[in-house]
Structure 1
Amino acid sequence: MKCDILAIGAHPDDVELGCGGTVAKLISEGKKVAILDLTEGELGTRGTRETRAAEAKDASEILGISFRENLKLKDGFLNNSEEYQLKIVEKIRKYRPDIVLANAIDDRHPDHAKAAKLVSDACFLSGLRKIETFDNNELQDAWRPKQIFHYIQWKNIEPDFVLDISGFLDKKLQACLAYKTQFFNPDSQEPVTPIATKDFLESLTYRAQDLGRLSGVEYAEGFTTEKLLAFKNFEGIVCD
């Protein structure tokens, strides 16, 4: 079940909002991508855990995700505990990703920053051979991802690098809008939340457009990195 990329989000829709364009592009290039949702988003003002699960399934089909799982940790109460770390270690060792994409290091929702640290620590622990975890009663091999990149969410964090998603913004938006209960719908009778406004929906485009403007492409998504990146050559770097 080896995947190239494991994208992890505290809630269903975090991955789509934060790096949906990147995921769509990587899949188009033949990369195998899995998504791990830590909670069911059950404390969300709009919708239910059941509707969110159905929406996540639809979004996965739009993006072409290979595998998607939900750990069903407690929404709103994520913590960097041994219990939660080991649950994530099991999934890292199951999918053996080279790269992990994780929540923003600082954000409006407290679960996002907590998830960022939790996932980071789990990635390190996953590489320790003396930590034993099991999948279907079989001892798992240690595995440590090569890189952890944190996508950007509500706050305008300055990225360490951006990835060109020109040609993939529409697919990102389609995947986000698969979460019909969560985002702007003028006909909805549910309470208005900060992410259920027209302005927030439009911000998905203008943020990608602004990062693209700054980097010389049409649209881009930004990431922060935990360690200094080294390039073997200058191929692939966009110059306007």
Structure 2
Amino acid sequence: MIRLALGGRPLEVLCLGAHPDDIEIGCGGALLRLAERTRLSLHGLVLTGDGRRADEAMLSLPAFVPSAKVEVAGLLDGRLPAQWGQAKEVLEDVAGRCAPDLVFAPRVDDAHQDHRVVGSLASTAWRDSLILHYEIPKWDGDMRSPSHYVALEEEQARRKVELLRACFGSQVSRDWWDDELFMGLMRIRGVECRASYAEGFYTSKVLLDLSEKGAEDAESCID
């Protein structure tokens, strides 16, 4: 199993979502693992949402990582392609204040138009950061084969689902939103990487450190 070494130093992480709940569905398990770190700075940016949905976005990420800070831009849900310029300005503003080691973002080929905009703009705003694109199950049937995984214990997988249910009351009536879907996808990804459960991610560019120093840093890592 190839491991991604994140080292023992303070880690700065940025999570991007087109909508409230994107981040938590896509990488909630990885966030629970990151929350175990003692030196972590985590910032969340959600591009759309107002009213109850904005409130959910502000409160949910800190439920996964208590120290998390969240911003909601309030752009129109479902209309990000038409608001491309505004979305880019929002991301560039955050990029001017945040130089993360790791960025979580939607997939660039996601079937949802809002997800694609955020996913594609992420790599232009943060060229020097490792970007892991997360997946979101949906009726469009756009699942792919991940290139990277974060392994999860059963307790972490179940905690993720518990928090999704608790934090996003506005979504629980949707026909696709249920514990079985979220647990099932994590179990499939777990089988693929020989773990109990896992989340899958996609990336187009990774720099490998093959030096002795890189090997030493790999002793402290997230699987």
* TM-score using structure 1 length: 0.74
Deviation at 1:21, TM superposition (A): 0.6
Aligned positions, number:
198
Distance, in Å, in 2 between the alignment partners of 1:212 and 1:227 is: 23
Deviation at 1:66, TM superposition (A): 2.0
Moved more, 21-30 or 77-86: 77-86
Residue 92 of structure 1 aligns with an amino acid whose one-letter code is A
Distance, in Å, in 2 between the alignment partners of 1:116 and 1:122 is: 11
Counterpart contact for 1:5–1:98, Cα < 8 Å: yes
Deviation at 1:180, TM superposition (A): 0.8
Q: Using a 3 Å threshold, how does the CA distance of structure 1 residues 171 and 34 change in structure 2: closer, same or farther? A: farther
Residue 195 of structure 1 aligns with an amino acid whose one-letter code is W
Q: Which has the larger radius of gyration?
A: 1
Structure 2 unmatched ranges of 5 or more? 1-9
Structure 1 unmatched ranges of 5 or more? 41-48, 125-144, 185-192
Moved more, 12-21 or 219-228: 219-228
Matched, 1:12 2:2: no
Distance, in Å, in 1 between the alignment partners of 2:175 and 2:204 is: 29
Q: Deviations over 1:80-111 (max 9, x none)?
A: 74442122111122132111110122233221
SS in 1 for 2:126: helix
Aligned 1:138-157 pairs, distance under 5 A: 145-154=128-137, 155-157=142-144
1:165 aligns with 152
2:69 aligns with 67
Q: Using a 3 Å threshold, how does the CA distance of structure 1 residues 65 and 237 change in structure 2: closer, same or farther? A: closer
Matched, 1:76 2:78: yes
Distance, in Å, in 2 between the alignment partners of 1:219 and 1:84 is: 34
1:179 aligns with 168
Deviation at 1:121, TM superposition (A): 2.0
Q: Using a 3 Å threshold, how does the CA distance of structure 1 residues 205 and 229 change in structure 2: closer, same or farther? A: farther
Matched, 1:37 2:81: no
Counterpart contact for 1:86–1:122, Cα < 8 Å: no
Greater relative contact order (Cα 8 A, min sep 6): structure 1 or 2? 2
Residue 164 of structure 1 aligns with an amino acid whose one-letter code is A
1:218 aligns with 196
Percent same amino acid at aligned positions? 28
Distance, in Å, in 2 between the alignment partners of 1:228 and 1:147 is: 7
Deviation at 1:220, TM superposition (A): 0.6
Higher helix share: 2
Distance, in Å, in 1 between the alignment partners of 2:193 and 2:91 is: 34
Deviation at 1:3, TM superposition (A): 6.6
2:116 aligns with 113
Moved more, 74-83 or 19-28: 74-83
Counterpart contact for 2:58–2:72, Cα < 8 Å: no
Deviation at 1:58, TM superposition (A): 3.3
CA RMSD after TM alignment? 2.3
Deviation at 1:165, TM superposition (A): 2.1
2:57 aligns with 56
Residue 19 of structure 1 aligns with an amino acid whose one-letter code is C
Query: Which of structure 1's runs of 4+ aligned residues deviate more than 6 A?
Result: none
* TM-score using structure 2 length: 0.79
